[in-house]
Copies of this chain bind each other. A is one copy, B any other.
Amino acid sequence: MEAKGQVTAEKYAADISSIREAQLRIGPFIHRTPVVSSETIDAIAGRKLLFKCECFQKGGSFKFRGACNAVFSLDDDQAAKGVVTHSSGNYAAALSLAAKLRGIPGYIIIPKNAPKCKVENVKRYGGRVIWSESNLRSREDTATKVLQETGAVLLHPYNDGRTISGQGTISLELLEQAPQLDTIIVPISGGGLISGVALAAKSINPAIRVLAAEPMGANDAAQSKAAGRIITLPETNTIADGLRAFLGDLTWPIVRDLVDDVIIVEDKAIVEAMRLCYEILKVVVEPSGAIGLAAVLSDDFRNNPAWKDCSNIGIVLSGGNVDLDVLWDSFRK
């Protein structure tokens, strides 16, 4: 019989070995991001919080870890024709940069309504922008066309063992930098980040809790956990534009088994947490990046007896790519 939450090899799309291999593979290319803390914020939260600053990662988010691991996992023949993805978000910039470092083309299919700063990031890192309409059908059709024309490899932003393994390197670093952690809180969207983080963290310390933070307006992961199967939503509505994806068939089993709970957060609380990050931590985060702090400060978390002895909490500030104009408008509301 298998204990609940136990991490076993070969059961999931990634494991501690593939994560350690990823660390060796991507080590020369990534930033080992710092961990910062603030007694002022600790006093507000009533706990010790340690912030892993993936907003300082290359490309401005944790996504570079997974993209870099996927790109450098390809053999030379596979890689030569380039890589392609459809993303309006941080994975697009991350994959562009990883492809550039490997010296191969990175084709990025971007919907026309994507945030300006994220498109600029793709161009800055040498990605080849290919526009599509904003609906999924157009994005997939465009991807198929690019694949046929170029022979490039399609890489998925989160539903891929190589991506999950790359994201898991965050836990390896974080638990070296702050071995006293009893809890890690991670934003959840498609589940790539939290899958890697949970696999690595629970292999190193089976007692550690891994909690997801999810916006109310895109709470498919919470619904999935409750239903015991992947739930998708007809639409999402949140300021956290990076957290609108749904779980994939590779991330879902890991989220189902290893994520201890999903904490739901209102957009208003996300904006307040962003403001604390700017004013107290002095760290630029995007809305998705601040949701972990919002979760820790939420009544749902504070009042839940299950989490009352979470006293040393690692929070992954997942990214910092935000249009300053959009940011400002959110603070003014």
Contacts and interface: CB of A to CB of B under 8 A. Distances in A.
Interface of A: 31, 34, 36-37, 39-40, 53, 55-56, 58, 60, 117, 124, 275, 278-279, 281-285, 320, 324, 328, 331
Closest 3 CB pairs of A and B: A282-B320, A34-B34, A282-B284
Given A40-B124, A324-B331, 12 more contacts: A31-B36, A34-B36, A39-B58, A53-B282, A55-B282, A56-B282, A60-B282, A275-B324, A278-B324, A282-B285, A284-B284, A324-B328
B283 A282 contact: yes
Of listed A124, A279, A282, residue having the most chain B CB within 10 A: A282
Nearest to A37: B31
**Chain A interface helix/strand/loop/mixed:** helix
Contacts of A56: 36, 281-283
18 contacts: A31-B36, A34-B34, A34-B36, A36-B56, A39-B58, A40-B124, A53-B282, A56-B281, A56-B283, A275-B324, A278-B284, A278-B324, A279-B284, A282-B284, A282-B320, A283-B283, A283-B284, A324-B328
A278 to B, nearest CB: 5
B281 A117 contact: no
Contact of A279 (B37, B324, B331): B324
Of listed A36, A37, A56, A117, residue having the most chain B CB within 10 A: A56
Nearest to A285: B282
Contacts of A324: 275, 278-279, 328, 331
Contacts of A278: 284, 324
Contacts of A34: 34, 36
A34 B283 CA distance: 12
B283 A117 contact: no
A244 B284 CA distance: 27
Nearest to A58: B39
A117 B279 contact: yes
